[in-house]
Amino acid sequence: MSFTVNLRGVSLRYGSEDALADIDLDLEAGKIYGLLGRNGAGKTSLLSLLAAFRKPTAGDVLVGGEPVWENAPIVSRVALIREGGDFDDSDSVKAVIEAGQIRPSFDTEYALKLAERFDLPLKKKVRDLSRGKRSVLAAVTGLAARAELTMFDEVHLGMDAPTRDAFYKELLAEYMDRPHTVILSTHLIDEVANYLEEVVIVDRGRLLRHADIEAFQGMGATLTGPADAVDALGLAALAEQRLGGTKSITVADALDAPTRERAAAAGIEIGPVGLQDLFIHLTDPERKAA
């Protein structure tokens, strides 16, 4: 079984600051989601609500169809893994792994297998681990939790590129073996795009977009050509650049066939927009919330 997620009119306030405002979000069970947002957008706050680390100031947070707050049976099957883990620094790696057994579905054998594969020194104290190895330990406890909803909050930070690659592959293998709901919060969008089924973007405490990864990948376009011809298309540009008489614009929406034909006839080149670039443009602080 894996958990659905439903948020209805959810707000979270710290003192006088709204970290999240009026969020409505539905996630289906058994998919891998990417959670994107700039620094301070509200990603960690959102995940904290789903793990019942925090109580919403307003609204309903349902996990597996039930309110998650003070719901021990549900919470015990939800794993939120934060960067660097929430470990006692004086514990050994082995002790951290053994402590995972507090969860009903924690798989110690799998955790030890992963520890060996990722070269984690079992006897070392957490405080003596490098930043990257500490992240790996956090990732290992998350994978081995075998939870119904597993959330990794920028857990890749500190891992080098080959380690991140191995982590994503292991995550996918574990997911294929035992479908469950996964949320990956990250800034490295292009790196994880191949693993994601849907993408959720939060921006300044609000839900900006939620769509299939394919929809995002087909979403934007860049158009480059004579400035007058580009302007004549009358498209709403997310960003634009001008060099002499040539203009390049980035648009968020997919172009329809007539626009493509007009552009081609005017000598305008059309190219794709990388997910990372699209994300940067969509969450540009200069841009009004969409």
- Interface residues toward ligand ATP, by CB under 6 A: 14, 17, 19, 37, 39-45
Nearer to ligand ATP, 124 or 204 (CB): 204
Kindly provide the b/e burial profile for residues 5-24, where b requires at least 16 CB atoms within 10 angstroms of the residue's own CB: bbbeebebeeeeebbbbebe
Min dist. Cβ of residue 256 to ligand ATP (A): 34
Min dist. Cβ of residue 88 to ligand ATP (A): 21
Min dist. Cβ of residue 35 to ligand ATP (A): 9
Min dist. Cβ of residue 270 to ligand ATP (A): 33
Nearer to ligand ATP, 17 or 109 (CB): 17
Considering only the C-alpha atoms of the chain, give the largest distance between any 2 of them, rounded to a whole number of Å.
68
Nearer to ligand ATP, 18 or 240 (CB): 18
**How far, in Å, CA of 119 to CA of 230, rounded?**
54
Nearer to ligand ATP, 45 or 150 (CB): 45
Nearer to ligand ATP, 14 or 117 (CB): 14
Min dist. Cβ of residue 131 to ligand ATP (A): 16
Strand partners, 209: 201
